Structure 1
Amino acid sequence: MFRIRRIYDTTLAIDRDAIVQVQAILKRQFSGLADSDIASLARKLADPLRYRLRTILFVAEDSKLHVKGFALLNHAPDLHFCYLDFISVTPSTTGCIGGALYTRAREEARHLQAAGLFMECLPDDPQLCADKTMLRQNRARLRFYERFGALPISGTAYETPLREGDDCPPYLVFDGLGSTDGLARDYARQVVQAILTRKYGDRCPPGYIEKVVSSFTDDPVRLRPPRYVNRSSPKPAPEALHIDQRIALVINQGHDIHHVHERGYVEAPVRISSILKGILPTGLFDTLPAHHFSEKHIKEVHEPAFVEYLKRMCLTIEPGKSVYPYVFPIRNAARPPKELPVRAGYYCIDTFTPLNRNAYKAAKGAVDCALTAAEHILRGYRISYALVRPPGHHAERRVFGGFCYFNSAAIAAHYLSRHGKVAVLDVDYHHGNGTQDIFYERGDVLTVSIHGHPSFAYPYFSGFAEERGLGAGHNCNRNYPLPEILDGPGYHRVLERALRRIDAFRPKCLVVALGLDTARKDPTGTWSLTPADLQHNGLLIGRLRLPTVVVQEGGYRSRSLGANARNFFIGLWQGLHGRQ
């Protein structure tokens, strides 16, 4: 099995490494290609407007991230066509990889609403190509394209050598992408003009370009009849995993060990099953196992003494019992209470978040899921989802509360920050006080929270607009406290402001702390967002086009959780992939 994914830019190390491997294949298999053209690949991905053609790169990789083939597609949005610049596989690979890459290129061209896919292919005519070995290779390539309905354009001067006496001038091949409409002459002339000027630049003299363009006289343009296949219909797509179009789903399978049975405790295991029932039928998700990570990742974000206390305290509690903080001593760091149950208040911010025997295990499992989701982003997925409980965004550096023990989203953001700036967007109804506290003095992580005003919404003591960060983190914390009554359009206006702030920060990755308690009739919230509103939220966030880790936070109305989660992820996927 191999996987195909799109390389958007040079943001992540995995993408930079793939580009280097593609450049090595170009250098090895296209000896006539100038070194400057090979070196420009990364620049073309980063700055498409400079080259008047938007470069799109797909790579086929094995499980060890070795690039086995690639397709380089150019898109001209002004003329609505795509040009396949290169498609190549390493000699040791099977032909199915080439078919999968070409199928993906066709899918992308259709998505871009291209009128057709153009490419050059060396000729299979002995009068144009004297080298018999090359002639056999050319015939094999044209046979390959014919299987998909792509045929050379005939009756034009396109295959005129640029320099008199040159051998093997290329055909211009056209793939109508399944459309039965002909290729109009005037449109074809515009496309050919664009190819010769934008791809080849100064190498094609104006007189040569005029000669080739004016040779397109048939209307519609004639295509050569098939020579190698009986019918020009697309070949079935080979099996391949297109991970950049999928969502990596990592579920905290052990979440139900942390089950508090007290009446009114809304952070219940049914939340996970309700969400799964909603999202799995979309077909967008790859369910992947969580990896186990060292506790050091937690202690890099949370105070080690707090982590050790939580672990020790949970081990002392009788199975089936819970300990609720009930004494909140003055926090004298030099003299914390000696009794572990009393010390719970030393490390907690409220009276309704219990400790039990499995709280540490469940919280550690949630962290493992969030880190696994972050890892999948670094390995090529564009969206990953850590579906976890307990939640985490109320857990500060040295305290727990609000049903939260460890801040999984913050730990994932810290993990990703090794690769560049990260933004954390908290869309839970309640302020992410823990995430704010953890990153308040850091300039490499932007924290943004949209929530109910602390005058009426938990945790009451933080989330004010004037809290902007300190020291290196000044202006890297942004709160949007909102009124008690709020509908979808009102939320969308604020979300758009928040996303402009994130875009200006220019992060490499985005972590979304997903609270579904903003929805209508949630028992812990007062807003009235509908499933359609949540889909629009996802769409707006996706349009940032950032590698995105989503970590589950709140959302407690089990009857609507599935529909709300489904709509959010549909919108997020559509926004990131430009589907709407």
Structure 2
Amino acid sequence: MFRIRHITDVTLPTNQEEIAEVQAILRMRFTGLPAHEIDGLPDKIANPLAHKLSTFLLVADDLRGNLKGFALMSYAPDLDFWILDFVATGRALKGSGIGGALYTHARKMASEKPSAGLFMECLPDDPADCEDPASARENAARLKFYERYGARPIVGTGYETPISPGDKDLPHLVWDDLDSGEPLRRDRFRDIVRAILERKYEHLCTPEYIQGVVDSVTDDPVRIREPRYTKPARAASVSAAKAPEVSAEDRIVLVVNEKHDIHHVRERGYVESPIRVRSILKGLDATPDHFWRIPARDYPMSHIRAVHDDRLVNYLEKACASVEPGKSIYPYVFPVRNNTRPPKDLGYAAGYYCIDTFTPLNQNAFLAARGAVNCTLTAADAILSDARLAYSLVRPPGHHAERSTFGGFCYFCNGAVAAHYLSGFGRVAMLDLDYHHGNGQQDIFYSRPDVLTVSIHGHPSFAYPFFTGFEDEVGESTGTGFNLNLPLPEVVDGPRYLKAVKKALARIQEFAPRFLVLSMGFDTGKGDPTGTWTLAPADFEAIGLALGATGWPILVVQEGGYRTTSLPANARAFFSGLHAAATARPAGSR
């Protein structure tokens, strides 16, 4: 599986790597291309208005930074025409559909604004016109491919005139009218030919040569070669469905903590169980075309230590490793942390690092928690690779884990780890839509102005964690004003909740983030054993629609939601709304 995406942001690491690979391919395969044209590609992408032709780069990759192919296009805004400069795929991928997908995407992009069509050069398919007559067969295959879309060589002009006497392999200028059905008028084409030769080949073509080619255009409208490889009815157009394409804009990248079930606390009433993930996946299975599932990668512990105190991380690793299989340590002694030191006994120390009595430590808790972080960072890297939407479906959850403490079934703050990572590439907003306050990210980012934290939750007068989540908690030091709590009463229905969501989004809009990390809990749903609100699938769909319409790249991180009978419907509704709204927007480029 692959995706097609349009690169405009040359600062993202994956984009930089793929641009460098495109440059390497251009140097290797297109040896006649001037070096400064290749070296200047990043600047042309980043500053299209500074050049004679605006440059557009489409890449096909597999979300891991493995480039499978690319299409390089140019647009002349003053004359309203497109040029397809290059389409290239890996030689081992010939026949994979990637070339067709790239051209389909290029046509779609070019069709989004009125233009004279899409032009490209193709080497001749007549053996007599080729330096090596055997190459005519390969050239014919390329022309046959474009002819399927209705794109054919322009004839009756001097475009193939040799620059030096005896030159061969002179390209045809091929025209795709992009299914407009409009003829190409002589005077407009003369301007286009002049622009192509002056702007692309000024290092080869003299003014006299260019004028001669322009003067050779006499037919009005310009003549197009009759179909040579396809039947005329078919040569008119090819449906986009004929060429397979998987686009980043059309899928939600899904990363699942595959080994989450090693953390299974079997005590009666412990609701944070493996069936939660299975229930959500059951709901998502009804819309398989919305998701692109990828495996998690391993990341160094330094990402966790960047947001959590080393003493907490070291304790969790050591304590979990010391617990006998099948046993658990539950915190039960809680000192006043600011005036105490941690006890040496690992069992007693649980209360020093934990904020409640119901978040146990067992042999696999640390391993599962680290796996959840790896999934979330993998999803974050997908966002950095230009995915619009990514979903980290994990357990244990994370939003109650503060810098120095764990609790609320949470050991590491998955969303905060990802938000800190993303903050290296721009401002990040965190929105917590779990029933309970997101005290973890609030604590971690409370004094930082580059990460805005917003939480909608049950008021701490009745809802866990009870001691945080008040409206007057707005941040401190340089982070003052960058934390927003929106506590709600015990009885809340869908419309009331959606009103709070829109208020949160208005604040996030003011902040103007580059990325949004969404801590998503379905414990706001009706009948959840840990909540009191009554949201139904239609309400979750409305929330997804509101978020998807914002246009921000969104990383969704799974938090709460414990009524497994309603989890499938609620999750399906939310992601259906999110997907529908996000894909309805014009394809954004970063």
Task: Report the TM range for the smaller structure's normalisation.
Answer: 0.7 to 0.9
TM-fit CA distance, 1:407: 1.1
Given the alignment of the two structures, is residue 448 of structure 1 paired with residue 454 of structure 2, yes or no? yes
SS in 2 for 1:15: helix
Q: Which amino acid aligns with 1:485?
A: V
Given the alignment of the two structures, is residue 254 of structure 1 paired with residue 259 of structure 2, yes or no? yes
Contact 1:468 1:475 in 2 (8 A): yes
Structure 2: stretches of 5+ with no match in the other structure = none
Given the alignment of the two structures, is residue 307 of structure 1 paired with residue 313 of structure 2, yes or no? yes
Could you list the per-position Cα deviations for residues 526-567 of structure 1 after superposition, in whole angstroms to 9, with x for gaps in the alignment?
445443443444444445555543221112232332233223
SS in 2 for 1:363: helix
TM-fit CA distance, 1:432: 1.2
2:525 & 2:218 partners in 1: Cα distance? Answer: 62
TM-fit CA distance, 1:56: 4.2
Given the alignment of the two structures, is residue 411 of structure 1 paired with residue 417 of structure 2, yes or no? yes
TM-fit CA distance, 1:437: 0.9
Given candidates 479, 500, 509, the residue that maps to 1:500 is 509
1:28 & 1:447 partners in 2: Cα distance? Answer: 48
Given the alignment of the two structures, is residue 96 of structure 1 paired with residue 95 of structure 2, yes or no? yes
Indicate how the Cα distance of structure 1 residues 434 and 190 shifts in structure 2: closer, same or farther if over 3 A, else same: farther
Q: Which amino acid aligns with 1:171?
A: L
SS in 1 for 2:286: helix
Given candidates 252, 275, 278, the residue that maps to 1:270 is 275
Aligned to 2:16: 16
Aligned to 2:152: 151
1:460-471 to 2 correspondences below 5 Å: 460-471=466-477
Could you list the per-position Cα deviations for residues 28-57 of structure 1 after superposition, in whole angstroms to 9, with x for gaps in the alignment?
555665666545543454455777987542
2:154 & 2:472 partners in 1: Cα distance? Answer: 64
1:487 & 1:64 partners in 2: Cα distance? Answer: 38
Contact 2:52 2:199 in 1 (8 A): no
1:354-393 to 2 correspondences below 5 Å: 354-378=360-384, 381-393=387-399
Indicate how the Cα distance of structure 1 residues 225 and 388 shifts in structure 2: closer, same or farther if over 3 A, else same: same
Aligned to 1:534: 540
SS in 1 for 2:104: helix
Given the alignment of the two structures, is residue 183 of structure 1 paired with residue 185 of structure 2, yes or no? no
TM-fit CA distance, 1:272: 0.7
Given candidates 353, 357, 380, the residue that maps to 1:351 is 357
Indicate how the Cα distance of structure 1 residues 574 and 200 shifts in structure 2: closer, same or farther if over 3 A, else same: farther
Indicate how the Cα distance of structure 1 residues 564 and 8 shifts in structure 2: closer, same or farther if over 3 A, else same: farther
Q: Which amino acid aligns with 1:254?
A: K
Contact 1:514 1:551 in 2 (8 A): yes
TM-fit CA distance, 1:390: 1.5
Could you list the per-position Cα deviations for residues 148-178 of structure 1 after superposition, in whole angstroms to 9, with x for gaps in the alignment?
44234567x79598999999575341154xx
TM-fit CA distance, 1:403: 1.9
TM-fit CA distance, 1:456: 4.3
Given candidates 397, 401, 408, the residue that maps to 1:402 is 408
Contact 1:185 1:216 in 2 (8 A): no
Indicate how the Cα distance of structure 1 residues 481 and 49 shifts in structure 2: closer, same or farther if over 3 A, else same: farther
TM-fit CA distance, 1:277: 0.8
1:64 & 1:433 partners in 2: Cα distance? Answer: 33
Q: Which amino acid aligns with 1:96?
A: G
Aligned to 2:576: 570
2:190 & 2:414 partners in 1: Cα distance? Answer: 53
1:492 & 1:187 partners in 2: Cα distance? Answer: 53
Q: Which amino acid aligns with 2:337?
A: R
Indicate how the Cα distance of structure 1 residues 173 and 444 shifts in structure 2: closer, same or farther if over 3 A, else same: same
Root mean square deviation of aligned Cα? 4.7
Contact 1:60 1:101 in 2 (8 A): no
Relative to the length of structure 1, the TM-score reads 0.78
1:478-557 to 2 correspondences below 5 Å: 478-482=484-488, 485=492, 487-488=494-495, 489-502=498-511, 504-505=512-513, 507=514, 509-542=515-548, 547-557=553-563
Indicate how the Cα distance of structure 1 residues 295 and 164 shifts in structure 2: closer, same or farther if over 3 A, else same: closer
Q: Which amino acid aligns with 2:181?
A: L
1:422 & 1:187 partners in 2: Cα distance? Answer: 50
Structure 1 stretch displaced more, 550-559 or 364-373: 364-373
* Count of matched residue pairs: 567
Indicate how the Cα distance of structure 1 residues 122 and 303 shifts in structure 2: closer, same or farther if over 3 A, else same: closer
2:85 & 2:132 partners in 1: Cα distance? Answer: 24
Given the alignment of the two structures, is residue 330 of structure 1 paired with residue 330 of structure 2, yes or no? no
Aligned to 2:118: 118
Q: Which amino acid aligns with 1:500?
A: Q
Could you list the per-position Cα deviations for residues 365-401 of structure 1 after superposition, in whole angstroms to 9, with x for gaps in the alignment?
3223223333444566554322111111011011112
TM-fit CA distance, 1:490: 1.2
Contact 2:53 2:199 in 1 (8 A): no
Could you list the per-position Cα deviations for residues 464-488 of structure 1 after superposition, in whole angstroms to 9, with x for gaps in the alignment?
4443433443444344445553534
Aligned to 2:228: 227
Q: Which amino acid aligns with 2:14?
A: I
Structure 1 stretch displaced more, 9-18 or 100-109: 100-109
Indicate how the Cα distance of structure 1 residues 545 and 270 shifts in structure 2: closer, same or farther if over 3 A, else same: same
TM-fit CA distance, 1:404: 1.3
1:27 & 1:303 partners in 2: Cα distance? Answer: 48
Contact 1:373 1:549 in 2 (8 A): yes
1:366 & 1:456 partners in 2: Cα distance? Answer: 29
2:528 & 2:78 partners in 1: Cα distance? Answer: 46
Could you list the per-position Cα deviations for residues 432-454 of structure 1 after superposition, in whole angstroms to 9, with x for gaps in the alignment?
11111112233443333333443
Contact 1:319 1:356 in 2 (8 A): yes
1:491 & 1:154 partners in 2: Cα distance? Answer: 63
TM-fit CA distance, 1:100: 1.7
TM-fit CA distance, 1:363: 2.1
TM-fit CA distance, 1:271: 1.4
TM-fit CA distance, 1:63: 9.8
1:195 & 1:486 partners in 2: Cα distance? Answer: 63
Relative to the length of structure 2, the TM-score reads 0.77
Could you list the per-position Cα deviations for residues 304-351 of structure 1 after superposition, in whole angstroms to 9, with x for gaps in the alignment?
222333344445556555544333222255533455444333222233
TM-fit CA distance, 1:287: 3.3
2:465 & 2:74 partners in 1: Cα distance? Answer: 51
Structure 1 stretch displaced more, 452-461 or 555-564: 452-461
Q: Which amino acid aligns with 1:469?
A: G
SS in 2 for 1:278: helix
Q: Which amino acid aligns with 2:277?
A: I
Aligned to 1:142: 143
Q: Which amino acid aligns with 2:95?
A: C
Contact 1:390 1:404 in 2 (8 A): yes
TM-fit CA distance, 1:10: 1.6
Indicate how the Cα distance of structure 1 residues 112 and 501 shifts in structure 2: closer, same or farther if over 3 A, else same: farther
Structure 1 stretch displaced more, 519-528 or 427-436: 519-528
Given the alignment of the two structures, is residue 173 of structure 1 paired with residue 175 of structure 2, yes or no? yes
SS in 2 for 1:458: coil
Indicate how the Cα distance of structure 1 residues 463 and 69 shifts in structure 2: closer, same or farther if over 3 A, else same: same
2:84 & 2:533 partners in 1: Cα distance? Answer: 49
2:537 & 2:219 partners in 1: Cα distance? Answer: 52
